[in-house]
């Protein structure tokens, strides 16, 4: 009689390739679509208007910084098999609570803008008021978390909306006819370098809650342990790739409009780009892109923000789904009563960039604590890469906080 070979006690069971890839893709799209929100659309358009083709350099630098941050954070979370706030508390007692507070506060601020963007998108598509559009969008976002298989539905929804946004924006790029050659050259040899733009883009892509959206989703889906690292690396890079493709397409669309000497409406820069590039059809396409970007960010921000406090409270952990729903409802009510100016979206992106040095720095320290990662050896080159991101973002973030951000509100 042949005995079945036992698995080592601490070894995770191998994941089926199909379901594993589906989960990794879902996590990648959740992170990417969490990044691609109303603030993302607004920031990209505003900075393209200011820097023209030289904004390509800002995008290139931000992509490198994004990859450095995301690779380190996702790998350490998966190896430690713990969420970021728990890792931070093990690095320094109480630090997890500080990190969770900052993440949730930033997530709530962003979500108010996200729900507002969903309302604006619905207004463009259907002609309803932004407030009513926000309410309808709130109902859709809440419905995702009411169903039993909320995680799978969230993954699928993020993937579909991601493809819709990229496809429609690519169409607008062709109609805008941007100077691609000039953009390519100035991406490496810019006429002007804007540190506020770099901090804002990195903050809007991997700052605050955003980079943890995919990492925490992997943990919830059971992707854990050293054996999962090759797939996690692919997922992390794919997530940055998806967000960056959308950023590049939007940049080229806006550059095409700017290069033609057309004036972008400061009250709604991205809508103006779509309309100037493709007429009324472009304006309707903007509505779809804005709604898709906003609603996926609403879902991602709520899910990730609550994931930061669920392990800190047994009550929140028990009623996680309802806390997420409450987070979405509160964001909607705040928008309906207050609203969201364009400048706030840029400000929140920059502030999220300031959170990144803390969150990434904590992960890098954790990578060398056996009590957290066991016998795992974090690659030296990845540590150096991450450390460069921490120092660069801390320096640029401090500079912009004290010199350039105040100018936004003059």
pTM of this structure: 0.81
Q: How far apart are CA 152 and CA 100, in angstroms?
A: 25
What is the pLDDT at residue 373?
92
Average pLDDT of the residues in 178-205: 88
What is the pLDDT at residue 12?
44
pLDDT confidence band for 63 (50 / 70 / 90): very high
Q: In the predicted model, is pLDDT for residue 134 greater than 80? A: yes
pLDDT digits (tens, 9 = 90+) for 238-250: 989 998 999 999 9
pLDDT digits (tens, 9 = 90+) for 329-365: 998 988 888 755 455 555 555 566 678 888 899 999 9
Query: How far from chain centre, in Å, is Cα 108?
Result: 14
Q: How far apart are CA 267 and CA 271, in angstroms?
A: 9
What is the pLDDT at residue 1?
44
Q: What share of the chain is helix, strand, coil (3-state, %, to 5)?
A: 80, 0, 20
Using the structure block, give the residue that is written with the tokens 């409009």: 257
DSSP 241-294: HHHHHHHHHHHHHHHHHHHTTPPPPTTSHHHHHHHHHHHHHHHHHHHHHHHHHH
Which residue did the predictor score with more confidence, 397 or 35? 35
Highest mean pLDDT among 209-213, 264-268, 377-381: 377-381
Average pLDDT of the residues in 44-57: 92
Q: In the predicted model, is pLDDT for residue 5 greater than 70? A: no
């Amino acid at each position: 009689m042949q005995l079945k070979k036992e698995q080592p006690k601490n070894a995770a069971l191998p994941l089926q390739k199909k379901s594993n890839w589906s989960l990794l893709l879902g996590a990648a799209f959740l992170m990417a679509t969490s990044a691609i929100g109303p603030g993302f659309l607004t920031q990209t358009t505003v900075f393209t208007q200011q820097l023209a083709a030289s904004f390509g350099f800002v995008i290139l630098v931000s992509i490198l910084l994004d990859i450095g941050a995301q690779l380190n954070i996702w790998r350490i979370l998966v190896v430690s098999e713990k969420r970021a706030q728990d890792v931070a508390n093990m690095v320094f007692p109480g630090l997890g609570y500080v990190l969770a507070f900052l993440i949730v506060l930033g997530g709530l601020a962003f979500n108010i803008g996200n729900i507002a963007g969903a309302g604006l998108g619905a207004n463009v598509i259907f002609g309803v008021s932004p407030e009513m559009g926000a309410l309808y969008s709130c109902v859709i976002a809440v419905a995702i978390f009411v169903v039993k298989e909320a995680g799978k539905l969230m993954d699928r929804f993020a993937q579909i909306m991601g493809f819709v946004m990229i496809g429609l924006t690519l169409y607008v790029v062709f109609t805008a006819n941007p100077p691609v050659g000039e953009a390519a050259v100035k991406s490496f040899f810019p006429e002007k370098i804007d540190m506020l733009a770099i901090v804002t883009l990195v903050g809007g892509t991997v700052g605050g809650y955003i980079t943890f959206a995919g990492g925490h989703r992997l943990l919830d889906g059971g992707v854990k342990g050293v054996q999962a690292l090759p797939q996690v690396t692919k997922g992390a890079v794919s997530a940055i790739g998806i967000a960056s493709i959308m950023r590049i397409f939007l940049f080229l669309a806006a550059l095409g409009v700017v290069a033609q000497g057309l004036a972008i409406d400061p009250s709604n820069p991205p809508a103006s780009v779509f309309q100037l590039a493709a007429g009324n059809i472009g304006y309707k396409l903007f509505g779809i892109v804005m709604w898709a970007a906003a609603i996926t960010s609403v879902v991602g921000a709520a899910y990730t923000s609550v994931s930061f406090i669920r392990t800190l409270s047994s009550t929140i952990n028990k009623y996680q789904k309802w806390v997420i729903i409450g987070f979405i409802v509160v964001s909607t009510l705040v928008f309906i009563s207050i609203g969201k100016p364009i400048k706030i979206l840029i400000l929140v992106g920059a502030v999220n960039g300031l959170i990144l040095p803390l969150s990434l720095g904590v992960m890098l320290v954790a990578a060398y604590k056996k009590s957290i990662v066991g016998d795992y050896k974090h690659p030296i080159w990845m540590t150096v890469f991450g450390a460069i991101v921490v120092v660069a973002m801390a320096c640029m973030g401090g500079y912009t906080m004290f010199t350039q951000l105040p100018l936004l509100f003059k």
